[in-house]
Amino acid sequence: MIQKALNKMRTPKIFRFVFNKKAVSTVISATILTGVAIASGFAVLAWAQMR
């Protein structure tokens, strides 16, 4: 039990965040949504230029 507590204290928060599946899933979802929004914006700009 004490060893687990020491390991947790030594592990930086960023590593716990990286290996947290729920957090990784959220980051991937946010990245995909951002990409879709940017791609949609470029599509609208291209469509507006052609008209």
pLDDT in tens, 13-48: 666 666 677 778 888 999 999 999 999 999 999 999
Over its C-alpha atoms, the chain yields an Rg (Å, rounded) of 20
Burial of 12 (0-12, 13-18, 19+ CB in 10 A): exposed
Kindly indicate the confidence band of residue 10, based on its pLDDT and cuts at 50, 70 and 90: low
Instruction: Record the pTM.
Output: 0.58
